[in-house]
Chain A
Amino acid sequence: MPENSHESVASHTVPHGPEADRPTFWTRTRRRIGEPVVEACIRLSGLAVVAFVFLIFLFLLKDSLSLFREYPLGQFLFGTQWLPISDPPQFGVVPLLLGSLYVTAWAILICVPLGVGSAMFISEVAPKHLKNVLKSLIEILASIPSVVLGFLGIIWLAPVLRNTFGLSTGMCGLTGSLLLAFMALPTIISISEDALTGVPRTYREAAYGLGATRWQTLWRIVLPSASSGILAAVMLGIGRVVGETMVVLMVTGNAPVMPRSILQPLRTLTATIAGEMGETVGGSEHYFALFAVGLVLFAITFAINFVADLFLRRARK
């Protein structure tokens, strides 16, 4: 009987009585064999994930290091020219790094205030029916494939930007930033909105009870209380922006040159790998150079995740 007590979860739908409480053959077998097996499976899948990440890293490292046997590391890291098919080839990663930095930074600059602002509007200001409409609209936005966005960028956004800023081409960094911002918005809005809605009602009551206006309550009490959730939303949004390839490959002009302005064609790390991998010969210097670019990307995303984690942990305290 005593060892039966922890079975109550499994048998709570069964009518109670002496019959129901006696373990059947099946439950006894399951207890003896099932639990260790399930436990082993869970442990195995956990280990597999760690192993995969480690293997990917090793793979990247191995092929990248092949580059540095022929091409100096310093020249790769600090070189300002990316000319993979000239003679001799140049594999300076700086223009690509800056391209990624420009596009990402502008995308963040655009989507964070817009996203958090929209979340504030939806959770605090919008009447109930508008709130529901907006929330489903945002869900639809999130499901637009990035290729479609890139296509819209080429045929609509790029000409608009060209005319507005008087550029020679609309296929530039800003086009990419705007589209990336658009892609990150649904994540940022919906998670920030959850965080704002999750702030206990008692905080608002306390603030109103002291005579605060809606704006003061929102700005000084609700927003700070939701800050860790909002930070998580922003980090996830940024994660989406940094890792995105398709859109930037399509609309930023594909020019691996040192960018001096966001209104200029440029190229990002991700676009370079995706764009050039098909043209290289396996095992060539160029091929290994692309792996080195991948390693740089890996290092960056790792660093971002690390910092995000640090932030979140501190915010939670």
Chain B
Amino acid sequence: MEPEAKIETVDLNLHYGAFHALTDVNIRIPARNVTAIIGPSGCGKSTLLRCFNRMNDLVEHTQVQGRIVIDGEDILAPTTDLIALRRKVGMVFQRPNVFALSIYNNLKFGLRIHGMLSRADQIRETVRQGLEQVGLWDDLKDRLGLNAQSLTLEQQQRLCIARVLILRPDVILLDEPCSALDPIATLRVEELLRVLRQEYTLIIVTHNMQQAARVADFTGFMYLGRLIEFDDTQKIFTNPGQQLTEDYIRGSFG
């Protein structure tokens, strides 16, 4: 009944120096769905997410044990091609982090570094498709030379999503992508995520439970570096299997 797992971790442990940030995480994330990771602040949601495209490699003194299997391959293996991995598993961050470049060049950067540049008209076409997918094209088509940082935060975050989409990823990681946005912009971005779930595997970290309930098909609840429970969103929010999950959902702590 459960769809195939796109990402599967086996006894995943992560230490930041002496701090044990993830403990024995075993999670199976299904393909072409939206999976939400919820839990109180500091419980390791971002850390887990950043494991999936090995962004934690950038943090000094990080140690990872266990396995992370994506499409049957252990991405923790030393032979992993990080560049290809990060193209396949794109990431959208908490604060929109567009480059101080034009809208067009923000998108072109990814194409360039992956050697996906072809003729100028093809790049334009790719850029157009990317912006259309995130609903920015009509607003911005005449202003592609504008510095991306002059856009509204919602537009910037959409641009960040487009920047990932045009690289044709399989998985998109979103780390509290709406926390810098107002409620209306948040709803609109959530709508976008629901459209994208038909083609991509989306994993969204959020500490907003309503958001998880609105957008996610599956939800994992984390607490103090452990994955406490993972199930259908419906089940997690109506009939959780663990007392801890129930307490959190009811707002007893966090």
Contacts and interface: CB of A to CB of B under 8 A. Distances in A.
B109 A221 contact: yes
Given A208-B55, A210-B113, A211-B87, A202 B97 contact: yes
A211 B55 contact: no
Contacts of B134: none
A211 B86 contact: yes
Given A202-B95, A224-B100, A209 B53 contact: yes
A220 interface: yes
B90 A209 contact: yes
Contact of A211 (B83, B95, B97, B101): B83
Contacts of A221: 99, 101, 109
A206 B97 contact: yes
Contacts of B248: none
B114 to A, nearest CB: 6
A212 interface: yes
B91 A213 contact: no
A205 B93 contact: yes
A309 to B, nearest CB: 21
Given A202-B93, A205-B58, A221-B109, A211 B84 contact: yes
B90 A210 contact: yes
Contact of B109 (A202, A213, A220): A220
B114 A203 contact: no
A214 B181 CA distance: 30
Given A216-B113, A224-B100, A225-B100, A209 B91 contact: yes
B58 A208 contact: yes
B163 interface: yes
A204 B109 CA distance: 13
Q: In the complex, which range does the number of interface residues on chain A fall in?
A: 10 to 19
Nearest to A216: B113
A220 B108 CA distance: 11
A207 interface: yes
Given A224-B100, A224-B101, A225-B100, A209 B86 contact: yes
**A203, A206, A208, A212: most-surrounded residue (chain B CB, <10 A):** A206
Contacts of B93: 202, 205-206, 209
Nearest to A211: B86
Interface in A210-231: 210-213, 216, 220-221, 224-225
Contacts of A216: 113
A224 to B, nearest CB: 7
B101 A206 contact: no
B109 A211 contact: no
B110 interface: yes
A210 B91 CA distance: 7
Contacts of A209: 53, 55, 86, 90-91, 93
B34 interface: no
B51 interface: no
B86 A210 contact: yes
Given A211-B86, A211-B87, A205 B97 contact: yes
A226 to B, nearest CB: 10
A212 B98 CA distance: 15
Contacts of A224: 100-101
A203 B85 CA distance: 19
A201 to B, nearest CB: 9
A220 B90 CA distance: 19
B86 A207 contact: no
A37 B41 CA distance: 53
Contacts of A206: 93, 97-99, 160
B99 A212 contact: no
Contacts of B85: 211
Interface string B95-131: 1011111000000011011100000000000000000
A208 B86 contact: yes
B213 interface: no
**A202, A213, A225: most-surrounded residue (chain B CB, <10 A):** A202
A203 B113 contact: no
Nearest to B58: A208
Given A216-B113, A220-B109, A210 B95 contact: no
Given A205-B97, A210-B164, 11 more contacts: A200-B97, A202-B97, A208-B58, A209-B53, A209-B90, A209-B91, A209-B93, A210-B86, A211-B84, A221-B109, A225-B99
24 contacts: A202-B97, A203-B97, A203-B100, A205-B55, A205-B58, A205-B97, A206-B93, A206-B99, A206-B160, A207-B109, A209-B53, A209-B93, A210-B90, A210-B113, A210-B164, A210-B167, A211-B84, A211-B85, A211-B86, A211-B110, A211-B114, A220-B113, A221-B99, A221-B109
